[in-house]
Copies of this chain bind each other. A is one copy, B any other.
Amino acid sequence: MADDVSRPVTISFIAESAGVSVPTVSKVINGRSGVAAGTRARVEELITRYGYRKTAPAQRSDVLELVFEQLEHQWSIEIIRGVQRVVRGNGLGLVLTEFGPDRSTIRYWIDDTLARRPACVVSVAQLSSGERDQLRARGIPFVVLDPIVELPDDVPFVGATNWSGGRAATRHLIQLGHHRIAMIAGPGHLFDLARLDGYRSALRSAGIEVRDDLIVTTPLTQEHGQVAALQLLNRPDRPTAVFTCNDLQAIGVYQTARALGLRIPGDLSVVGFDDVPIAAMIDPPLTTVHQPLTEMAAAATELALALGRGETPAQPGIELATTLTVRSSTAAPAA
Contacts and interface: CB of A to CB of B under 8 A. Distances in A.
Interface stretch (A128-136, A173-181, A251-259): A251-259
Interface stretch (A2-10, A41-49, A108-116): A108-116
Contacts of A222: 281
A113 B93 contact: yes
A61 interface: yes
A95 interface: yes
Residues of A in contact with B, size category: 35 or more
Given A93-B95, A96-B96, A73 B73 contact: yes
A325 to B, nearest CB: 16
A209 interface: no
The oligomer's copy count stands at: 2
Given A74-B73, A88-B108, A277-B73, A96 B80 contact: yes
A71 B80 contact: yes
Nearest to A61: B61
Interface in A109-160: 112-113, 116
Contacts of A283: 254-255, 258, 282-283
A81 B77 contact: no
Contacts of A282: 281-283
6 contacts: A73-B74, A84-B96, A88-B105, A93-B116, A254-B283, A278-B278
